[in-house]
Amino acid sequence: MSVTTPIPPPLREWAQAIVGPVSERNVSHNRPNSLVWELTYDTGRAFAKLSPNPMSFARETRALREVAPGLEPGTVPWLRGADAHQQALLLSLVPGRPVKSLSLAPGGERALHRHAGSWLRRFHRGPSDLSVQDRKDAAAEIARAAASADKHLERAGDLISATERRTVRWHAAELGRIGPLPAAYIHGDFQPRNWLLDAGRAGNTFGAVDLERARPHAAVADVVLLTCGPWVGHLDLEQAFWNGYGRGLTAEEERALRCLSALDAASAISWGVPNGDHEIVERGRATLARLEVLAA
């Protein structure tokens, strides 16, 4: 996605019907299907976003309508408008700076992850907030993940070694043997690139954006990207997160986390190599190397 791509006229007209005349700036992520523009109008700023597909639009719209209102104001976008025909969302600004742009001292990093844990616990809400269908959908996500190994390995081809393939298949089979897991309405892409930190008068306020992968799932699925990324070699950050979250993982969740991490690694390698995302590929290979001894 080129950052010089102009906003489509129908999207601009739709947004202006809600907030008035705007000027825009492309703020899309450097990845396929990211289509986001920052809009400036007389009384403020907002973001216009085109979802990559109908499922992402439905997931983000539901999360913003049903889950976000239960969070502290200013810690998640407010849905200003949704247009199913364009798969368009008009979102409020979340105060703060992107965490990836900050240089935090070790104490600040620990505080950030504690805030992240606290935010995610509120986003996950309680078991009573899930419908019967939500629980079925969460169980189906785990079953779908367990069955996804062959798809990832086929797509990866010779990008994944024979040893790595054994590791992936072993963990896929192990995931299928795990019993019911605590379910939640997850964020789905919970990692520092989607975090904001607002250093206001009342102290640092944590916020999160990009809810297009939000859905019912096992609660532990929301920490796969953390355990394979910023927590590697930083037990203090992981402990700070769980202190904020208010509980640790059960033994079954620990097993599931290892399995989901292996499957995420296979997916990361198979997607990252052809798309030139070296960071995600390195993350995937490092994850499989850590898990290899368990699969031996």
Question: Is residue 100 classed exposed, middle or buried when 0-12, 13-18 and 19+ CB atoms within 10 A define those classes?
Answer: exposed
pTM of the prediction?
Answer: 0.92
Q: How far is CA 215 from CA 72, 104, 209, in A?
A: 20, 31, 14
CA dist 26 and 59 (Å) reads 23
- Pairing type for strands 183-186 and 79-83 reads unpaired
Q: What is the dihedral of CA 142, 191, 213, 241, to 10 degrees?
A: 60
Average pLDDT per block of 10 residues along the chain, 296 residues long: 78 98 91 89 96 97 94 95 98 94 94 97 86 96 95 90 94 95 97 92 85 97 97 97 97 97 95 85 93 70
CA dist 87 and 55 (Å) reads 10
- Number of residues that this document lists for the chain: 296
Residue 1 confidence (pLDDT): 46
Q: Which domains does the chain have, with CATH numbers?
A: 9-92 (3.30.200), 97-295 (3.90.1200.10)
